[in-house]
Amino acid sequence: MVKVLTVTDLHRSVRLYEELGDAVRSHQPDVVALIGDFLHGFEDNNGRLTAAQCGRFLTKLPCPEVLFVRGNHEDFTWWDFADEWNKSGRKLHALHGEAFVHGPLVIIGFPCLLGQEDAFIYPREPLPADTDSWLPGLMRTHGAAARALWLMHEPPSGTPLSAAGTVVEGNPEWTEAIARFSPWLTIFGHDHRTPLLQNRWHCRLGQTTCVNVGQSDRDPLRYALIELGYEQTAPSLPLQIKVTAYPQTESVILPS
C-alpha cells in the first residue's frame, strides 16, 4: 500500500498550512503532493506565511517525500521558498512535465500554463500546451505504471469541477491527453469554489476519474487521501485505488 495526500490552493494561509500539518500527522502518508498555489502572488499578506516560512514548514512534514506541481501563483517568490527548502537537505521534487517514482507508484506532474514560471522551472525549458512533445516519452519510459496518477494544477476543460468560460476553466490539451492515455486518476485544483458550489468533488472523463476537492479560506482544509494497493514493488499499475475527500470523508474506489 502506498498513501498519497494531495492538497491544492493553500495560498500561504497560516491556518491551512497548520491544518495540513495535522492531516499529515493523522494519516501518515508516504507522499504529500502540493498541486499548485501553495504560494501566493498577491500582496494581501494578512494571515499568510512568507514564502520562506512555507518552505521551512513543509520541510518538517513527517512524511518520506514531499513533491510540488506549479500553479499560477508560484512566481519569483519560489526562489525564497526553494532557498529555505534546500537548507534542510531534503530533495526538492518540483515536477514540470516529469515523473516521480516512489516504489511501485509513478506520478506524472503536469506544467502550469498560466503565470510566471521562470523561477520554478529553471534551468529547464518551458513546455508547450501540446503534450505531444513530452508526455508520450514519459509514457514509454514508465509504461503502464504511468497511468496510475496524474497531478495538474489547471483542470482539464469540460468537467463539472471547474467553471466553463472563466479563467479557471482549464485546458483542452489536458482533456485530450486524458482521452489519449486514460490515466486512472487525475487530481487538480485552480478552481476553488465550483466543487463547493456544486457539492461535487469527482467526475469521469471516459475511463478516468477526475478529482478537485476545492478549497476555502473559511472552511476546514480540503484535501484528498489516495491509497494505492500493489501486488509488487516494481513500478506497475495498482490493483485498486481508494480516493477519500476530506473533510467530508467520502470515498470512491477505482477501478469502479
pLDDT, one tens digit per residue, over 78-117 is 999 999 999 999 999 999 999 999 999 999 999 999 999 9
Question: Could you tell me how far CA 122 lies from the centroid of its own chain?
Answer: 20
Least confident stretch, 38-42, 145-149, 150-154, 160-164: 38-42
**pLDDT for the residue numbered 45:** 86
If we measure between CA atoms, which residue out of 19, 23, 16 comes closest to residue 39? 16
Q: What is the mean pLDDT of the chain?
A: 97
CATH architecture observed for domain 2-254: 4-Layer Sandwich (3.60)
Give the angle subtended at the CA of 143 by the CAs of 173 and 33, to the nearest 5°. 65
Q: Note the helical H segments in the chain.
A: 14-27, 51-59, 78-87, 118-121, 135-142, 172-181, 194-198
If we measure between CA atoms, which residue out of 101, 83, 104, 109 comes closest to residue 8? 109
**pLDDT for the residue numbered 203:** 98
**pLDDT for the residue numbered 44:** 85
